[in-house]
Amino acid sequence: AQSVTQPDIHITVSEGASLELRCNYSYGATPYLFWYVQSPGQGLQLLLKYFSGDTLVQGIKGFEAEFKRSQSSFNLRKPSVHWSDAAEYFCAVGTTGANNLFFGTGTRLTVIP
Amino acid sequence: EPEVTQTPSHQVTQMGQEVILRCVPISNHLYFYWYRQILGQKVEFLVSFYNNEISEKSEIFDDQFSVERPDGSNFTLKIRSTKLEDSAMYFCASKVTASQETQYFGPGTRLLVL
pLDDT in tens, B67-114: 999 887 899 999 999 999 999 999 999 988 776 568 899 999 999 999
Distance to chain A for B87, nearest Cα, Å: 15
Query: What are the residues of chain A with a beta carbon less than 8 Å away from any beta carbon of chain B?
Result: 32, 34, 36, 42-46, 49, 51, 90, 92, 94-96, 98-106
Which residues of chain B neighbour A45 with C-beta distances below 8 Å? 105
* Dihedral Cα A83, A105, A54, A58, nearest 10 deg: -20
Split at pLDDT 50, 70, 90, the class of B42 is confident
Residue B47 CA, distance from chain mean position? 8
A32-76 pLDDT per residue, tens: 899 999 987 778 899 999 988 889 999 999 999 999 999 999 999
C-alpha to C-alpha distance for B29 and A55, rounded to whole angstroms: 28
A40-44, A99-103, B28-32, B83-87 — most confident range: B83-87
Distance to chain B for A104, nearest Cα, Å: 6
* Dihedral Cα A104, B67, B72, B105, nearest 10 deg: -10
B52 touches A: beta carbon within 8 Å: no
B58, pLDDT greater than 60: yes
Q: Which residue has the higher pLDDT, A18 or A2?
A: A18
SS (H, E, C) A54-111: CCEEECHHHCEEEEEHHHCEEEEEECCCCHHHCEEEEEEEECCCCCCEEECCCEEEEE
Residue B102 DSSP SS3: coil
C-alpha to C-alpha distance for B107 and B37, rounded to whole angstroms: 12
Radius of gyration of chain B (CA): 13
Distance to chain B for A42, nearest Cα, Å: 5
C-alpha to C-alpha distance for B42 and A26, rounded to whole angstroms: 16
Closest in A51, A99, A106 to B56, CB measured: A99
B48 touches A: beta carbon within 8 Å: yes
B61 touches A: beta carbon within 8 Å: no
Residue contact A99–B55, C-beta within 8 A: yes
A98, pLDDT greater than 70: no
C-alpha to C-alpha distance for B11 and A95, rounded to whole angstroms: 33
Residue A97: the pLDDT is 62
Split at pLDDT 50, 70, 90, the class of B62 is very high
Q: Which residue of B has its CA nearest to A92?
A: B43
Alpha-carbon torsion B82, B84, B85, B86, what sign? positive
C-alpha to C-alpha distance for A71 and A86, rounded to whole angstroms: 27
Distance to chain B for A64, nearest Cα, Å: 17
Residue B99 DSSP SS3: coil
Split at pLDDT 50, 70, 90, the class of A88 is very high
Split at pLDDT 50, 70, 90, the class of A77 is very high
Probe site for chain A from B103, B104, B110 (most A CB atoms < 10 A): B103
Query: Could you give the C-alpha distances from B102 to B11, B55, B94, in angstroms and in order?
Result: 28, 17, 8
